[in-house]
Amino acid sequence: MSRRFLSRRMGPAWIAAILAGILAAAAPWLERLRPLSIGERTASEVHVTSGEDRGIGSLREAIFLADRADRRVRILIQVPLIRLGDPLPPIINPKGVSIEAGAGSVRLDATDVTAGAVLDVSAPDTVIAGVEVYGAPEQAILLRNGGARLTNVSLRKSQTGIYVVDGVADLTVSQSLFDGNAVGIHVDSRTDGIRLVDNRFQAHSNAAIWSVAPDGPDPGSSAPIIIVGNRFDRDR
């Protein structure tokens, strides 16, 4: 068999092999770009069945699906522990998202995350229940929109447990634990209707609640932060 014949036969084979490798490497990105099926667009509930940071059944994939859906989505987490290597995708569904632990609670272990917010929430009327964020390098939960309801959450060993940005209104955090953070909850100056009810704050190195307004409140206006029934232990 001549060398020329071999080169003619092997050339297309090598090209096919190279193309197959490129497609395999690009598959995760192509998956993000593919159009959603009708079932995915209209899904109202997504189940998290994997504790891995990425892949099928992961919380990361569930957030991608929720962000691309055309209605409000409930994310139900059915594993007790998720180890994160990077911040999760921003939560941006304009109809709102609910993230709930299916049984008991779930820990999002962020000790391997080097920067950024673990849960970056821009969706309105977000509900987070039964979720623990541990070891966030910056914000465990960053809230950019109003109407959020956080209950039975735990923010532990993070730089900031919850950061509420300017302009956010109508937030309730209840029956939750803030433990060993630098700051438990940081509320920017121009917020309104922030309610902290029946929470426990303990062992914060800088402040359990950090809120500094540039000016005094208008006479007759309601308090921007309402604090009821909370417990504080070894906080500054």
Per-residue pLDDT tens over the stretch 51-93: 999 999 999 999 999 999 989 999 999 999 999 999 999 999 9
Global confidence as pTM: 0.80
- Mean pLDDT lowest among 10-24, 26-40, 60-74: 26-40
Confidence of residue 9 (pLDDT cuts 50, 70, 90): low
Q: What is the pLDDT of residue 104?
A: 82
What is the phi-psi region of residue 125: left when phi exceeds 0, alpha when psi lies from -120 to 50, beta otherwise? left
pLDDT exceeds 80 at position 24: no
CA trace torsion 147, 152, 154, 159 (10° rounding): 20
Exposed / middle / buried, residue 21 (Cβ in 10 Å: 0-12, 13-18, 19+): exposed
- pLDDT tens, 150-190? 999 999 999 999 999 998 999 999 999 999 999 999 998 78
Q: Output the pLDDT for position 16.
A: 55
